[in-house]
């Protein structure tokens, strides 16, 4: 046993140091005089190459300086390698590591199981991936990357997880769940899927900013948690011009946030807009019984003009109409105020009718 071990050590040393043919055989190897083989059933036709294992093949005598280790691997070009089992490398300066990989392009590499590379300077890593574009990467399982100058990660041929492509000299495109991004960032969603940006810290905010090339921030979208002022969670769209939008618990505020500081009841409204609204049409819905047609009913208590005059002299405004002080403090309810103004118009109409009757009566007595 000691003699056999010494022989193997001596033979392996010869295999590592010689520049001419060296073999350590369990069965017959076919080896170029300038190459080496360790194992059995190997064929090394190329020059200055090395094969370790069984039933490996380097069949082309015109190729050189390649390396094979494992079982049933094939290398048919120069300066290439195959490590593992049943790998095939057909191109120069390329390599395969794993099982059943196939490499057929200059400077391309495959690592894993059943990967294929056919684009120059391409790389496939994982299981059953294909990289056919020049300078393309395919990583994961069952991915296919046909685009030049691109990087793809995925686990499904139909919908990759991540795709980045140089596209052209202007700039790169990145796709998530698509192998054909149409914008700098292109995210495709299926049914009941979502895009999420999540902060793990309470009482904070995170967001997305939109800037021009000069670095100035034009728009920023932020999500706040536990925001001060009783608004709790807020989504904000903030402009550098202070034309801001704040959405919280079904309420919407438009304007600079600091404009709302004096407003103690802003959160009681579904929509609050600072500095006004300009529109061509406003529709206000009122509850039943608010509109002023009740003035024309027979049981309506129309105050005598003398009583109205006395009220005006005392209070400085019409009965049943808010004063200037109340409006400044509480604001104006558009629907209710229109109803109050109509009430006064209808009362005025009744006063005119009464006066007309009195005038006609006086005329008849002449």
Within a domain: 167: yes
Residue 337 within any structural domain of the chain: yes
Q: Residue 144: pLDDT band by 50, 70, 90 thresholds? A: very high
Q: 71 and 178: one domain?
A: yes
Task: Dump pLDDT digits (tens) for 297-352.
Answer: 989 999 999 999 999 999 999 999 999 999 888 888 888 899 999 999 999 999 99
Given pLDDT bands bounded at 50, 70 and 90, which one contains residue 111?
very high
Task: Looking at the structure, tell me whether residues 50 and 138 fall in a common domain.
Answer: yes
User: Which has the higher per-residue pLDDT, 328 or 180?
Assistant: 328
Between residues 174 and 41, which one has the greater pLDDT? 41
pLDDT band, very low/low/confident/very high, at 267 (cuts 50, 70, 90): low
Using pLDDT thresholds of 50, 70 and 90, give the confidence band for residue 270. Answer: confident
Could you tell me where the beta strands, DSSP code E, fall in 86-213? 88-89, 95-99, 102-103, 109-113, 116-117, 123-127, 130-131, 136-141, 144-145, 150-154, 162-165, 173-176, 185-187, 205-211
Please give the Cα distance from 150 to 167 (Å, whole number): 8
Read off the pTM: 0.55
DSSP conformational letter for 302 = P
pLDDT digits over 205-260, tens only? 666 666 655 656 566 777 766 665 555 667 777 766 666 666 666 667 666 655 55
CA dist., res. 248 & res. 235, Å (int): 6
For the chain, the domain total comes to 3
Residue at 54 is within a domain: yes
Based on the domain organization, do 171 and 41 belong to the same domain? yes
Same domain membership, residue 245 and residue 176: no
Query: Could you tell me if residue 13 is inside a domain?
Result: no
In a shared domain, residues 209 and 131: no
Judged against a pLDDT cut of 90, whether residue 69 lies above it is answered with yes
Q: Residue 216 is part of which domain span? A: 204-273
Residue 157 has pLDDT above 90, yes or no: no
| Secondary structure of residue 356 in the 3-state scheme | helix
Residues 254 and 320 in one domain: no
What does the alpha-carbon distance between residue 135 and residue 160 come to, in Å, rounded to a whole number?
Answer: 18
Confidence (pLDDT) at 102 = 98
> What would the DSSP string read from start to end of 75-121?
E-SSS-EEEEES-EE-STT-EEEEES-EE-STT-EEEEES-EE-STT
Across all residues in the chain, what is the average pLDDT? 80
Residue 240 lies in a domain: yes
Whether 192 maps to a domain, the answer reads no
* Same-domain pairing of 65 and 174: yes
Same domain, 66 and 180: yes
Q: Is residue 104 predicted with pLDDT exceeding 90?
A: yes
Is residue 318 domain-shared with residue 220, that is, in the same domain? no
**70: confidence class by pLDDT, cuts 50, 70, 90:** very high
Number of H helices, E strands in the chain: 4, 28
**CATH number for position 88:** 2.150.10.10
By residue count, the chain amounts to 366
pLDDT tier for residue 7 given thresholds of 50, 70 and 90: very low
Q: Alpha-carbon distance 137 to 313, whole Å?
A: 88
Q: 159 or 106: whose pLDDT is higher?
A: 106
In a domain, 280, yes or no: no
- Does one domain contain both 227 and 262? yes
Whole-number Cα distances in Å, 254 to 231, 234, 262, 265: 14, 13, 15, 15
Asked if residue 81 has pLDDT above 60, the reply is yes
Residue 97 maps to a domain? yes
Domain boundary among 158, 187, 216: 187
Same domain, 340 and 301: yes
Same-domain check for residues 245 and 302: no
């Amino acid at each position: 046993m000691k003699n056999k071990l010494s022989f193997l050590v001596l033979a392996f040393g010869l295999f590592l140091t010689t520049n001419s043919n060296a073999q350590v055989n369990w069965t017959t190897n076919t080896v170029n005089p300038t190459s080496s083989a360790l194992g059995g059933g190997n064929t090394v036709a190329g020059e200055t190459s090395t094969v370790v294992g069984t039933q490996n093949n380097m069949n082309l005598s015109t190729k050189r300086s390649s390396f094979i280790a494992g079982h049933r691997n094939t290398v048919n070009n120069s300066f290439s390698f195959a490590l593992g089992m049943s790998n095939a490398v057909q191109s120069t300066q390329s390599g395969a590591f794993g099982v059943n990989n196939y490499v057929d392009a200059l400077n391309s590499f495959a690592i894993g199981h059943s990967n294929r590379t056919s684009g120059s300077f391409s790389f496939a890593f994982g299981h059953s991936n294909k990289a056919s574009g020049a300078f393309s990467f395919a990583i994961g399982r069952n991915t296919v990357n046909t685009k030049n100058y691109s990087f793809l990660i995925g686990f499904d041929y139909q919908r990759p997880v991540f795709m980045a492509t140089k596209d052209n000299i202007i700039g790169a495109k990145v796709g998530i769940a698509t192998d054909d991004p149409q914008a700098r960032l292109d995210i495709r969603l299926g049914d009941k899927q979502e895009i999420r940006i999540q902060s793990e810290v309470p009482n904070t905010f995170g967001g997305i900013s939109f800037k021009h090339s000069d670095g100035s921030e034009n728009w920023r979208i932020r999500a706040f948690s536990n925001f001060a002022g009783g608004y709790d969670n807020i989504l904000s769209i903030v402009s550098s011009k202070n034309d801001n939008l704040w959405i919280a618990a079904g309420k919407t505020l438009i304007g600079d946030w600091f404009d709302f500081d004096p407003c103690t009841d802003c959160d009681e409204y579904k929509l609050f807009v600072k500095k006004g609204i300009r529109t061509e049409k406003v529709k206000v819905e009122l509850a039943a019984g608010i509109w002023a047609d009740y003035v024309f009913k027979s049981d309506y208590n129309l105050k005598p003009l003398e009583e109205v005059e006395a009220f005006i002299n005392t209070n400085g405004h019409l009965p049943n109409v808010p004063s200037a002080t109340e409006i400044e403090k509480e604001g104006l309810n558009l629907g209710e105020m229109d109803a109050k103004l109509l009430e006064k118009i209808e009362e005025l109409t009744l006063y005119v009718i009464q006066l007309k009757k009195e005038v006609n009566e006086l005329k008849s007595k002449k």
